[in-house]
């Protein structure tokens, strides 16, 4: 069943995109490892790291597109799931430091030692096992999303109300994680990681491994998302997005569908966060800040909502632009970024991918079926005509 579900997910566009991702996944580490420094085709380590980071952002964007683009749930709190996954990974990495911390305490992380903590808080138990940490990466965001979604969707909280309370959720978590009493390192968060699964986290080979892992997880995420979208479940989700009341009247349990997709999406975001942390080597509460979640929404919108691939394109494009602008025009980059966000919806209302596929569809239909409407694929994959 799962296999047929995944095969169904492999529509042509997803397949092409996954192929490209897999190519990058193989080519970048190979070039980094085997080409000599200075070779024109060699990807330097810092660029590989950067694109690894974008890869984890892209996975976050895909997870957001799954709920927003296909189910009409605009979550302004997806950064929270991302950060929770990141914290779970960070706690594992923190426990791996062991006695190599500055205070040489084998159990307690450094920040607990200098704040005079005597014993490890219960929340930290078990994080010295990778497997446990990975379960938490999925479980913590998933559970939060399930509980949150269960209540919110059952009470039929929709539209902006839902967006604002997701924002309240991430804001509350931000404040909570800022508190040093929580035992998650307060504002400084978790840093100073040494190794992952026994490999030095700063070694180039480990980084290549992380890059490969990120790309593979992104592929998998895209595949799963595409599978969901193309399954019967996906059709119901689209129905909910376009006419929630009607879907309910037909007899679907809208709240349950929404809760399920919200939870799956949160787990994906958690995985993205877990891949992000070992590459940037820090996780701190600012990842919970509502601005970050809004930015993730923007990636999806720029790339093209409801296209999945657009989410990846948007995340990479916006972040790459941000990196480039902050280096080139440190004083003016905010203007450029601001202009991008304004121009996006004005000039490309369906995002990059949405607009391109519209164009292609138009060309195709004018060439071949001049009198027929666009193919069904283009309609459902193109940006949605949803009203709030």
Partner 1 sequence: MGGEPNSDMYMSNEETVSPRRHWNETVMLQSLKTPTRLAALLIGALVLFLAMALPSVAQSIDDAIAKLTTDGYSDTAAAINALATSGSPRALPIVQALNDGKLQFSASDKKVFIVTATGLVEAVTGAPVATPPADISDVRANNRIRGLVNAALGALSLANPDPQKRIASADAVFKSRDEGALAALDTAIANETNSTVAIAFKAAKAAIILFKADAPVNDRVAAAQAIQLRGTQDAVALLRSLPADTPKPVLEAANASAKAIEYNLALWSMAQNAWYGLSLGSVLLLAAIGLAITFGVMGIINMAHGEMVMIGAYVTFVVQEIIRTRFPGLFDWSLTIALPLAFMTSGLVGIAIERTIIRWLYGRPLDTLLATWGISLALQQTVRSIFGANNREVGSPSWMSGSFQVGQLSITWGRMWIIVFALIVFAGLIAILRRTPLGLQMRAVTQNRSMASAMGIPTAWIDALTFGLGCGIAGIAGVALSQIDNVSPNLGQGYIIDSFMVVVFGGVGNLWGTLVGAMTLGIVNKFLEPVAGAVLGKIFVLVAIILFIQKRPRGLFALKGRAVES
Partner 2 sequence: MSLFKTMTIAGAVLAGALTASAALAEDTIKVGVLHSLSGTMAISETTLKDTVLFLIDEQNKKGGVLGKKLEPVVVDPASNWPLFAEKARELISKDKVSVVFGCWTSVSRKSVLPVFKELNSILFYPVQYEGEESERNVFYTGAAPNQQAIPAVDYLMSADGGSVKRWVLAGTDYVYPRTTNKILEAYLKAKGVAAEDIMINYTPFGHSDWQSIVADIKKFGSAGKKTAVVSTINGDANVPFYKELGNQGIKATDIPVVAFSVGEEELAGLDAKPLVGHLAAWNYFESIKTPENAQFIKDWQAFTKNPKRTTNDPMEATVIGFHAWVAAVTKAGTTDTDKVIDTLPGTKVPNLTGGTAEVLPNHHITKPVYIGEIKADGQFDIVWQTKSLVPGAAWSSYLEGSKDLVADWVTLKCGNYNTITKKCGG
From CA 274, how far away is CA 145, in angstroms rounded? Answer: 17
Q: At what angle do helices 254-280 and 45-71 cross, to 10 degrees?
A: 170
Smallest distance, partner 1 to C-beta of residue 29, A: 35
Q: Which of 129, 151, 320, 324 forms a contact with partner 1 (CB under 8 A)?
A: 151
Q: Which does 104 bind (CB under 5 to 8 A by kind): partner 2, partner 1, none?
A: partner 2
Smallest distance, partner 2 to C-beta of residue 111, A: 7
Question: Using CB under 8 A, which of the segments 134-142, 177-185, 344-352, 368-376 binds partner 2?
Answer: 177-185
Return the H-helix or E-strand segment holding 196.
strand 195-196
From CA 110, how far away is CA 207, in angstroms rounded? Answer: 25
Q: Which of 62, 74, 137, 239 forms a contact with partner 1 (CB under 8 A)?
A: 74
Q: At what angle do helices 45-71 and 78-97 cross, to 10 degrees?
A: 140
Partners of residue 195 on adjacent β-strands: 200
Smallest distance, partner 1 to C-beta of residue 308, A: 18
Residue ranges of the alpha helices (H) in 191-332? Answer: 204-230, 232-242, 244-250, 254-280, 290-303, 309-328
User: Binders of partner 1: how many residues, by CB under 8 A?
Assistant: 44
Smallest distance, partner 1 to C-beta of residue 156, A: 6
Using rule CB under 8 A, residue 278 touches partner 1 = no
Of 201-260, binders to partner 2 (CB under 8 A) are 202
Using rule CB under 8 A, residue 340 touches partner 1 = yes
CA 47 to chain centre: 20
Return the H-helix or E-strand segment holding 199.
strand 199-200
Q: Which residues bind partner 1 (CB under 8 A)?
A: 74, 148, 151-152, 155-158, 160-161, 163-165, 167-169, 171-172, 175-176, 178-179, 245, 290, 294, 297-298, 301, 331-332, 334-335, 337-342, 344-346, 349, 387-388
């Amino acid at each position: 069943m799962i296999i047929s579900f995944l095969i169904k997910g492999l529509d042509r566009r997803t397949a092409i995109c996954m192929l490209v991702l897999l190519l990058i996944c193989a080519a970048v580490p190979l070039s980094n490892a085997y080409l000599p420094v200075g070779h024109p085709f060699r990807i330097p380590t810092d660029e590989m790291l950067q694109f690894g980071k974008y890869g984890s952002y892209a996975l976050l964007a895909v997870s957001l597109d799954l709920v927003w683009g296909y189910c009409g749930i605009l979550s302004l709190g997806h950064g929270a799931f991302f950060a929770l996954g990141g914290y779970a990974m960070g706690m594992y990495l923190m426990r791996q430091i062991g006695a190599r911390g500055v205070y040489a305490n084998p159990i307690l992380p450094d920040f607990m030692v200098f704040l005079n903590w005597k014993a490890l808080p219960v929340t930290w138990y078990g994080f010295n096992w990778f497997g446990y940490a990975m379960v938490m990466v999925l479980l913590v965001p998933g559970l939060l999303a399930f509980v949150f979604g269960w209540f919110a969707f059952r009470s039929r909280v929709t539209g902006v109300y839902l967006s604002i309370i997701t924002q309240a959720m991430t804001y509350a978590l931000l404040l909570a994680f800022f508190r040093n009493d929580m035992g998650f390192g307060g504002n400084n968060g978790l840093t100073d990681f040494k190794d992952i699964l026994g490999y030095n986290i700063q070694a180039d080979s480990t980084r290549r491994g992380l890059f490969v892992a990120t790309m593979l997880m992104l592929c998998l995420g895209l595949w799963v998302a595409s599978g969901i979208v193309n399954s019967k479940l996906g059709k119901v989700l689209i129905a909910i997005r376009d006419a929630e009341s009607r879907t309910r009247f037909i007899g679907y349990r809208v709240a349950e569908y929404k809760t399920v997709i919200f939870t799956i999406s949160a787990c994906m975001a958690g995985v993205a966060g877990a891949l992000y942390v070992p590459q940037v080597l820090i996780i701190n509460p600012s990842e919970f800040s509502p601005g970050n979640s809004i930015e993730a929404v923007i990636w999806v919108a720029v790339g093209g909502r409801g296209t999945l691939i657009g989410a990846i394109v948007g995340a990479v494009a916006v972040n790459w632009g941000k990196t480039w602008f902050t280096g080139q025009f440190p004083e003016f980059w905010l203007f450029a970024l601001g202009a991008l966000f304004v121009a996006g919806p004005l000039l490309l209302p369906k995002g990059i991918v949405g607009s391109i596929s519209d164009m292609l569809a138009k060309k195709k239909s004018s060439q071949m079926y001049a009198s027929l409407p666009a193919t069904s694929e283009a309609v459902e994959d193109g940006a949605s005509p949803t009203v709030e």
